[in-house]
Amino acid sequence: MSATLIDLPEAWSDEGRKFRTPQDWLVAVLRAFQSDEVPERVLPVLRQLRHPLWSPQAPKGFSDTMQEWADPDSLLNRAELSRTLAERAPRIDPRQLLDVVDTAADDPLRRLLADTSIAADERVALALASPAFQWR
């Protein structure tokens, strides 16, 4: 049954996608960097993204909706943060990130990641802040 579910076209359509909460997004960033551990400095980052670890507002808890997390200011916040994270990241080939960012064949991000006239760390940042990377 699992195989059938995976093969279902609905499982891969846009309707089934979910906007990454800040914590989801940050974990995805660490995985993209192939980090083995979670550095302690992610804690202030999570606070800054209004998603402090284990500290939801009682009694409501954290929302997991796009309405809550994808407001304009938060998107810009992720864009700015991606820049900082990419600067401090281990040196990786930006093109490797295509393995972890789910892009359509005609997504201009593919071209950007291969464009060596753009600094490597900026290309990494573009991948992390790209709309494609905000969904799971």
User: Which positions lie near other proteins, rule CB under 8 A?
Assistant: 19, 48, 50, 58-59, 66-68, 70-77, 79-81, 83-84, 107-109, 112, 118, 122, 125-126, 129-132, 134
Beta carbon of residue 57, minimum distance to other proteins (angstroms, whole number): 8
**For 37, what's the count of Cα atoms within 13 Å in the CB-facing half-sphere?**
3
| CB-nearer residue toward other proteins: 32 or 134 | 134
- The helix (run of H) or strand (run of E) holding residue 44 is helix 42-48
| CB-nearer residue toward other proteins: 9 or 72 | 72
Rounded Cα–Cα distance for residues 25 and 29 (Å) = 6
Give the three-state DSSP class for 102.
Answer: coil
| CB-nearer residue toward other proteins: 33 or 69 | 69
| CB-nearer residue toward other proteins: 34 or 48 | 48
Name, in order, each residue with C-beta under 8 angstroms of 39's C-beta and a sequence gap of 6 or more: none
Beta carbon of residue 69, minimum distance to other proteins (angstroms, whole number): 8
Rounded Cα–Cα distance for residues 77 and 22 (Å) = 10
